[in-house]
Amino acid sequence: MYNSTTDDYTGTTKQIANRVDTITDFSAKDGNKIDLKGLGFTKFSGAAAVDAAPKGTLGFDNATSTLSGLDATGKNELSIILTGVTAADLSDASFIFA
């Protein structure tokens, strides 16, 4: 569980791949939600380029099945792999922001 954005791991791509959190049974269709209260996220941008998104916006990379959010400096604050999920499966309703 994340209690702050510093709970996520940042490092090289190989290091992140070895330590990123993975959710294997997430289903927005079944009403599952990811609780992000207190982490400063306010919006899901879909499969849009996360690099260009404003702080507090989450994006989803279909190629890696990774949900991620960026801070003001452009570093990942949060990275979660959602196995079997695509950006089309997610919306703002898939998350608890506040």
Reported as a single tens digit per residue, the pLDDT across 32-45 is 999 988 787 888 98
The tokens for 1 are: 């569980």
Domain ranges of the chain: 5-96
Q: What per-residue confidence (pLDDT) applies to 15?
A: 44
pLDDT digits (tens, 9 = 90+) for 46-97: 876 666 667 788 889 998 899 988 754 555 578 899 999 999 999 999 999 8
Q: What per-residue confidence (pLDDT) applies to 35?
A: 94
Residue that wins the pLDDT comparison between 88 and 6 = 88
Q: Given a cut of 70, is residue 7 above it in pLDDT?
A: no
Residue that wins the pLDDT comparison between 54 and 14 = 54
